[in-house]
Amino acid sequence: MLCDFHIHTTHSDGSVDLPRVIDLFGQAGFDVIAITDHVVDGDNAIGKLGRFLRLSVTEKKFGDYMERVRKEAQRAWDKYGMLVLPGVEISKNYISSDRSAHILLLDLKRFVPASWDYERIFLEAKRQDALVVACHPHHQSDPTSKDTLFLWNNRERYARYIDAWEIANRDDIFNVISLKKYPYIAGSDFHKTRHLYSWKTLLDCERNVKDVKRCIRDNRGVAITLFRN
């Protein structure tokens, strides 16, 4: 199954709205995708700016966001046979890359604030049976993207909470994940239509939420592919 677990829409800083994202991936034959708009930490200045610019899903908007994702997920299933997981990208942004971290929570049910400390976020995710993915955990090649190194720098402490690490993000590959033999997936970090062509995950499992999550957690039957037209 061709999968992409890291996709943004206009609910945060993506440039393509949710229905078009669904159609774009559905028309391209994807089997599983996850919608993961940003939830920024509103306690710091960068997060406040993100919220002010409406680049974040807030607690107030979360219900509406999930409802729209669920509605589109149903349409995606009916029309394309494509499974859509609702999720968020918890975005803890600081001036220092070493302090910054982004975490995907997939198949999330209730809102999780980005201002919580890491342990509390991870435990809440476990409580909701959400999948926890550390995204772009190492240095990125895109000069416009800011590195988020906190989780990698503190891997000894946090790895036990993390179900998978992004071994590839859009055009980057993080070989350190391979060296550490951590469970992995790949995602596009989709913000624009051209990001459709990027690293993806291939899963060998049934097309349902339970099996997809188990496949990633067990990290058996997982491969990555560079999706090109």
With binding defined as CB under 8 A, does residue 74 bind another protein?
no
Q: How many residues bind another protein (CB under 8 A)?
A: 12
Query: Both tokens of residue 214?
Result: 């188990």
Q: Judging by beta carbons within 10 Å of its beta carbon (0-12, 13-18, 19+), is residue 127 exposed, middle or buried? A: exposed
Q: Which of 138, 132, 88 is nearest to 114 (CA)?
A: 88
**For the stretch 21-56, what's the b/e string if a residue is b when 16 or more beta carbons lie within 10 angstroms of its beta carbon?**
bbbbbbeeebbbbbbbbbbbbbebebbeebbeeebb
Q: 26 or 87, CB closer to another protein?
A: 26
With binding defined as CB under 8 A, does residue 2 bind another protein?
yes
CB of 189 to another protein, least distance (A): 18
With binding defined as CB under 8 A, does residue 229 bind another protein?
yes
Report which secondary-structure segment, H or E, holds 203.
strand 199-203
CB of 221 to another protein, least distance (A): 17
Q: By CB under 8 A, what part of segment 177-196 binds another protein?
A: 193
With binding defined as CB under 8 A, does residue 77 bind another protein?
no
Q: 15 or 154, CB closer to another protein?
A: 15
Q: Which of 119, 57, 68 is nearest to 91 (CA)?
A: 57
Contacts of 202 (CB under 8 A, 6+ apart): 1, 2, 3, 222, 223, 224, 225
Q: 63 or 81, CB closer to another protein?
A: 81
- Given 74, 81, 95, 120, the residue binding another protein (CB under 8 A): 81
Binding mask 26-65 for another protein (x = CB under 8 A): xxxx------------------------------------
Backbone angles phi, psi at 189, to 5 degrees: 50, 50
Site residues (vs another protein, CB under 8 A): 2, 23, 26-29, 80-81, 193, 227-229
